[in-house]
Structure formats: C-alpha cells, structure tokens
Amino acid sequence: MQPKQLLVPLVALAVTVAMTPLATAAAAATTRYEAEAATITQGVAESNHAGYSGTGFVNYDNVAGSSVQWSVTAAAAGSATLTIRFSNGTTTNRPMDIAVNGTTVAAASAFNGTGNWDTWQSKTITAALNAGTNTIRATATTANGGPNVDWLEVAQATDGPAVPFGSHRFPYAAGTLRPSGTQAAVDQAVVTYYNKWKAAFVKQNCGNGWYQVISPDADHPYVAEAQGYGMVVVATMAGADPNAKTIFDGMVKYMLAHPSVNNADLLAAEQDASCRSVNGSDSATDGDLDVAFGLLLADRQWGSAGTYNYKQLAVKHINAIKASEVNPTTHLLLLGDWSTPGDNLYWTTRPSDFMIDHFRAFKAATGDTAWDTIRTAHQNLITNLQNQYASSTGLLPDFVVNTNTTPKPAPGQVLEDPNDGKYFWNACRTPWRVGADAITSGNAASLASARKMNTWIKAKTGGNPNNIAVGYSLGGTAISSGSEPAFFAPFAVAALTDPASQAWLDALWTKMVNTSFTSTDYYSTSIQLQTMIVASGNYWVP
C-alpha cells in the first residue's frame, strides 16, 4: 500500500454555497464547576501555575483523604459525563476515588503525570446523577495526595453537543495569539469555510447510510486520511452544524465497513469509486490516528450510549494503532500496518504523522503509559531533526529513514518522489501538527519546535504570506513557486505560539479567509479548514 497524495493545481471553478450563520446549538447540559469554589478538605486554592480557568485551582495536601467536593445540579435523573481537569507535575500517579452522593463510582482512578504543573489534562468518568442536587467528591487515596484540580464539568446527554463550536471551553496555553477582530467574526469565518468544504467533499455516494469524504486529488477516491479528517472536523463543528452527529455516525458506519485486512480494528486505507477497498486493503497510520481522535471527540460531545459506543471503538482503535502501527523498537510510527519486520520501509517514519496531542489523548483515554513513551520518542526526533538538519529553518522532511540507527531525512525517493527528504506535500502539515500540541498543552518542546519554524518563515517571506513557496529544502531553498493553502495555512498555527507575531498571524488569517478553492482541491482545503479551527480558538483535546 502506498499512501501517496497526488495534488492537482487549482482551476477556475469555484465552489459556491449559501452562507450559513453560526448556529446556536441546542442547549447542551454541560456545566463547569471551578475547584477553588468547591468544598476543600486538606488542600488550598492557589494560582501559581499557568493555564487554569477561573481564579485558580486546588492544590491537594500530600496526604490520603485530601479532597474536593462539588455540589452540582442535574435537571433530570440519568447518566452524566464527569470531566475533571487536572495537572500532575510529578512522574507518579496520584489516584483518587470519585464518589457521587457518597457512593464511589471510580475507585483509585488514575491521575498520572502530565509533564509539569502548567500542563493540564482531562479525566472523564460516567456516573448516574439524581434529579436536583448531587455531591461529587474527588478524594486522594495515597500519601502523595491528589493532583492539582482546575474544574469539574458535568454533562448530561441532550440533543446538543457538550462542547458546541464557538463555546471556547478549553483555553489555550497562556500567551497564545488569536486573529484580530471579534471572536464572533472569526468563528463565523470558520463556519462559512466549513459549509463550503462540507458541500464539496462530504458525500453519500455509496448508499448504506455511509458518509465519506471524497478525495478527488488523491490517488483513490476515498482514502483513510480523508475519513480521519472528516471525523475530527465534523465532531469539532458540532453545534455549528445541526446535522453533525448524523454525519459522524455515517462516517463511523463507513469506517467499520472497511477494516484493514491486517488488523480489523484499523481502517483500510483506500477505496475505489464504488467504495470497495483496494490496493491491499491495509491501513495508513495518519488516517487511523485521526479516526481514533475523532471517536474520542464524539464520546465527549454526545456520550457513548447511542448507536455507537464511541469510547469503546476509540480504545479498540488506539490499541490497534499501538499493536500494528508503532515500531516496538523505536516507539516511532510506522507508515501503516503493512510495514513489518523485513519490509524495506520498516525503519522509515513520516513526521506529518507525529500528532503529539493525539498521543496525549490516547494516554488519557486508555491510561496506557506506553503513549508517554511514544510521545517522547517523537518529540525527541523532531528536536533532533531540527537541530541536525534544519538548524536555521526548523523545517521537517516528508520522510525519515534509518530510525533504528541514526535517523535522517530521506536521501531521495523512498516512497513518493525525489523530494521525500524535503519539506514538501507531506511535511507541509507539521507546523499545524506541532503547533496544535504547543498551544493546547503548553509543552516546552512543542513550543520551541513550532516557534523555530515560525521565526524562519516570517523572516524568509518578509511577513508576506504570498511569498510562501510550494515546498522547501530543509535549508530553506524554495522547490516551486506558487501559493497553496497546504503550505501557507499550517504556518498560522505556528504563528499562534509567538506573542510577537500578531501582524504575521493576521496576514495569514486574511489570506486564508480570502482564498477560494475548487471542487477537486480536497487536500489543501481540508488542511486549511483544520488550521482555521485551531487558529480561531475552537480546537480542543478530549
């Protein structure tokens, strides 16, 4: 299987659809309760670490029995999703018992290390609530006490999503930029672009209740990458799109109907015009990463008690990725489940697949610390590649070889074309992927990597996005002239990380908003849409 993207040039045909105003989501029964306003036993409210909401967070005393107890109100009796936002700057799990109305619903639930005290993650638990007032208590079970706790969110299933687009429920790292203008105008620009993208590329061409994203400029009409993009985008746009859940479930149905021949819990990478899996029916890692992430988003948005148990499907997909798409020696991603020992690409990886924030979500969903090891291996490789091969630019190559010895950019064509070792049609996504982790986690390594790319491209172009070329050598020499969203849009996410880049970010945002696309330009359009979601402040990690 060859996961190659063949891009076509823009043509004059523009996609036009009626502009749809930002929809008001059906009221989702989600309420946030700040920890510092709750009842604190053997702990203290503090504000000496970055990234919290409200006025602070609770620092548990280092003693078993320290706790935070919230009083919450439920409109009706029934199942609810309880989400606790926490940080743990140690490497030691700080488990807590979660009790509802005095009954423990999650004993010794793990709250593992988050890397540092400024990095926050979310823990999700499902429990039954009574109508009216309920108490929810998080109690440390070891002498280390609990983690720092920012808030509790309580969501009960309704017709609306828990995190509607435009709600901005998950703040980015301190100092992150946003495009200038009102938040409503920025959000509306994303919705307008989404509606055009959806009209052009979200299809029901093969019946069966399936929804799929079509990819006219790829080497097959339907590819796993596109389905992954679609699942992440549609789940994130819930609230702006009243049909999001219906579309998402149709995408899940399509995914389940097209398993990889090597691991049935992964998605077959390519389908023909009749939606039949072809070209080996094996997997492509990038698509699977986004499919799993999209399922986690859906679980948070709508819960898992409907037609599909999103959480269960996500965990199965995550475990399958680890089993079949991660090299057990290097802990680096393989290109697909078809790459096995003895394969000539077994020691090859692709930096555009390095979705660091996804790895964090997978760890949170499964509790599997292997994802910390996997995440660290990829971050270390990014840093080493930048230092050794792109010290002035920070650019990453399309493919990396020799991962078992001394990893280096591909010396020439290893899979797709002679530019496999350069910043080209795959690696163009890396400023977005690295930057997304930087702004959602505040991680120092991701911030440094994203800022390095941003500093170089801003200087290289003189602050003019029109000067961003179509590909570069790692030293910064342009490969082709022209202007493609796949190349200029991702730099907007890197720009978010630099407080001195407001004018540069605004120039990139303006260029994105004013760039039209065609009905055959799936790849660039899908990348730009996702970078606009991130830049607008609407991206979040489940």
Catalytically active residues, by annotation:
225, 286
Angle at the Cα of 446 from the Cα atoms of 173 and 395, rounded to 5 degrees: 130
Alpha-carbon dihedral 357, 277, 230, 438, rounded to 10 degrees: 20
- In the structure encoding, which two tokens stand for residue 479, read together? 């490969």
Element at 296 (helix H, strand E): helix 285-302
Q: Look at residues 465, 475, 301 and name the one whose alpha carbon lies nearest to residue 391.
A: 475
Question: Rounded to whole angstroms, how far apart are CA atoms 405 and 415?
Answer: 20
Question: Rounded to whole angstroms, how far apart are CA atoms 173 and 513?
Answer: 25
Measured in whole angstroms, how far is the alpha carbon of residue 23 from the centre of its chain? 23
Burial 51-89 (b: 16+ CB within 10 A, else e): bbbeebbbbbbeeeebbbbbebebeeeeebbbbbbbbbe
Angle at the Cα of 315 from the Cα atoms of 539 and 403, rounded to 5 degrees: 80
The count of other CB atoms within 10 Å of the CB of residue 411 is 12
Amino acid at 412: G
- In the structure encoding, which two tokens stand for residue 206, read together? 């093969």
Taken in order 244, 255, 540, 399, is the CA torsion positive or negative? negative
42-46 long-range CB contacts below 8 Å, 24 or more apart?
Answer: 42/66, 42/67, 42/145, 43/67, 43/68, 43/145, 43/146, 46/148
Question: Rounded to whole angstroms, how far apart are CA atoms 193 and 211?
Answer: 19
Place of tokens 């036993």: 41
Alpha-carbon dihedral 383, 488, 438, 239, rounded to 10 degrees: -150
Q: Is 202 helix (H, G, I), strand (E, B) or coil?
A: strand
Instruction: Answer yes or no: are the C-beta atoms of 284 and 228 closer than 8 Å.
Output: no
